[in-house]
A = this chain, B = another copy of it.
Amino acid sequence: MTYCVAIALDDGLVFASDSRTNAGVDQVSTYSKMHTFEVEGQRVFVVLSAGNLATTQAVVHRLQRDMEDGVEESLASVERMAEAADYLGRVNREETEKHSEALSKSGMKAEATLIIGGQIGEDPPAIYMVYPQGNYITTSQQTRFLQIGESKYGKPILDRIIEAGTALGDAARCALVSIDSTIRSNLTVGPPIEVMVYARDTLTFDHYLCLEADDEYLRSLTQAWDANIKKAFTDLPRFDWESAHGRKRRGTRVSRGSARTAPGKTAPGKTKKPRR
């Protein structure tokens, strides 16, 4: 599996990805899922990839070759980010179709889902998610991030923190926290974690990080997050049935609510609403 996230902010773009690929649980490898393309000072792109590894490698190879060969439509020629997404969609669909019939006979899928983001000249920076069928969506004012792969574990923290005005550093940190939460809860997502920060209108990549599991900053971040979350949890308001000390010891009952009437209850008469 995979987990990648891209965030579009007033200040620019943030991309983050894990590096674990697996075919089943016993064939686990490390591959970068972050691919960058650049015409210096003129245009920058980041492509994040999830899905069939053969397909995503073929797609990235095509993007690279089309650019180098100077073919009519490539990341060097498109004039808007939406056109880049459309082009990537076509390449993705074509590469997927090559092997999908043979793969489906073996019960496998050739499908890949990608995110492309960046900026072309004076066109505003943008991010797009490109589906296996070649269609694509972008962000809205309310929805500032796109995720591919194992996206659910890491979504709540993005939902809480990310908005259009979030600073690039905060968004990059939030992406790291989101990926770290996913890694803790799901074995199929793993380090190194890559992060790319693009500051609007600079037309060059601002900051790139490739953080191994033992990276000093990543370790300090995840340790701080774990401690801060535990404190955030400890500071929550208590139920009124908890003792003043906030801990019920085993065997001691502070208060006792009666059970609610249950469908299968055999003893009648206990119908009063239980206390909290």
Contacts and interface: CB of A to CB of B under 8 A. Distances in A.
A27 B156 CA distance: 25
A253 interface: yes
Interface string A225-261: 1101111110111111110001110110101111110
Contact of A206 (B40, B186, B256): B256
Given A153-B156, A199-B248, A264 B64 contact: yes
B173 A259 contact: no
Copies per assembly: 2
Interface string A187-216: 000000000000111101111110000000
A258 B156 contact: no
A237 B262 contact: no
Given A38-B265, A263-B35, A169 B239 contact: yes
A202 B231 CA distance: 31
A222 B35 CA distance: 39
Contacts of A156: 153-154, 156, 181-182, 184-185
